[in-house]
Chain A
Amino acid sequence: MSEQPDKAPPAIVLAHAQLAAGLVSAVEQITGMGSRFVAMSNTGLSGAELEQKLRALVEATGARVVFTDLPAGSCNIAAFRLLRDRDVIVVSGVNLPALLHFVTHPNLSPEEAATEAVERGVPTLKVTLGTARGN
């Protein structure tokens, strides 16, 4: 348990192109809790500009958790740069199930919520084969 859910700062979703906005809009559609995330894009930004903008957003929102998409992508690396001097948690490889779990467990601490979100998000990626093959 940590902060009161309605007083907790939002988490940041930082991703390529319009992915973050899309994920957050999906969270809003499914749960009505999209406002617990702030979406940010890397479009048109250099690495330095991306880091600067992310720092400003963390400062402005008080966010403790930054979800990023592609490991070793510019969003991911910009977020990692904050680990050196900010008390933030970076999640790599974000997907919708992870965000949904995070947002629907507001009573967990940021560390617990981020860890559980990853644990919940990873196994949702799977292959399902049709039964019509070979017919």
Chain B
Amino acid sequence: MAIELYRIDDRLIHGQVIVGWGQPMGLGFLVLVDDEVASSDWEQELYRMGVPPELDVFFASVAEATLKLEQWNRDKRPGILLTSDIDTMVRLAVAKQSTIRAVNLGGIHHRADRVERLRYLYLTGGEVRALQELEHQGVEVTARDVPASRPVPLSALLEGHGEEGAA
């Protein structure tokens, strides 16, 4: 089974992840890759508080995730790896080339320097370039907040063809 979804979502663990994706996948574990959360017991406790007890949650910095990715991918249960920003996912993907083949854009919210691409997706010019570079390295990048919505390829997103609709 291994990690079936590599998702960028600035809310990290939340309803769309636990229920929206987790239920149909039969999710067994979550990997939260974030340097700040990985160094904070309080943040980790916070994210564990509401998660169903049968679901394992692993916390890792990018450096730790680089070392443990193969181990998580040998797990027989389906898993989701989450980062809160594009930079973290890019660092991980670059460090583990050919391991991460697809990245899901699940939620990056409004900020003054970002442009709206979808209702749940706002990107700066730098973030767009980072995603394009990721695709040049062979990683498929699509936006999709929940499984019931249609995946929007990065190219369509940037051409303004990201209108949403049910799958």
Q: Mark A residues whose CB is within 8 Å of B.
A: 16, 44-50, 70-74, 76-77, 80-81, 84, 92
Q: Are A72 and B10 in contact (CB under 8 A)?
A: no
Instruction: Tell me whether B46 and A73 are in contact (CB under 8 A).
Output: no
State the main secondary structure of chain B at its contact with A.
Answer: loop
**Given A46-B11, A70-B19, residue A80 in contact with residue B49 (CB < 8 A):** yes
Verify if B15 is at the interface (C-beta below 8 Å from A).
yes
Which A residues are in CB contact (< 8 Å) with B58?
none
State which of B18, B42, B107, B109 has its C-beta within 8 Å of the C-beta of A72: B18
Q: When the two chains form their complex, are residues B50 and A92 in contact, meaning their CB atoms are under 8 A apart?
A: yes
Can you report 6 A-B residue pairs in the complex whose CB atoms are below 8 A from each other?
A45-B109, A46-B107, A70-B15, A72-B13, A72-B47, A72-B52
On whether the beta carbons of A73 and B109 are closer than 8 Å, the reply is no
B110 within 8 A of A: yes
Number of interface residues of B (CB under 8 A): 20
Contacts between the two chains (Cβ within 8 Å), count: 56
Residues of A within 8 Å of B80, CB to CB, are: none
Q: How far is the CA of A50 from the CA of B109 in the complex (A)?
A: 11
Chain B residue at minimum C-beta to C-beta distance from A92:
B50
Q: A44-B110, A45-B109, A46-B109 are in contact. Are A71 and B12 (CB under 8 A)?
A: no
Q: Is B74 an interface position by the 8 A CB rule?
A: no
List the B side residues contacting A16 at CB < 8 Å: 15
- Partner of B13 from the list A50, A77, A81, A84 (CB cut-off 8 Å) is A77
Q: Does B1 contact A (CB under 8 A)?
A: no
Q: Taking A47-B11, A77-B46 as given, write out 9 further A-B residue pairs in contact, using a Cβ cutoff of 8 Å, ordered by the A residue number.
A: A46-B110, A47-B84, A49-B109, A72-B13, A72-B47, A73-B15, A73-B50, A74-B11, A77-B13
Q: Report chain B residues within 8 Å CB of A76.
A: 50
User: Can you name the residue of chain B whose Cβ is closest to the Cβ of A73?
Assistant: B15
Would you give the 0/1 interface string for B45-88, flagging 1 where the beta carbon is closer than 8 Å to chain A? 01101111000000000000000000000000000000010000
B50 adjacent to A47 (CB under 8 Å): no
* CB <8 Å contact, B42 and A47: no
Within 8 Å of chain A (Cβ to Cβ): is B14?
A: yes
Tell whether, in the assembled complex, residue B11 and residue A72 are in contact, meaning their CB atoms are under 8 Å apart. Answer: no
Report the nearest B residue to A46, measured CB to CB: B109
Tell me the bound Cα distance from A71 to B13 in angstroms.
11
* B14 → A minimal CB distance (Å): 4
How far is the CB of B23 from the nearest CB of chain A, in Å? 12
Q: Which residues of A contact B107 (CB under 8 A)?
A: 46
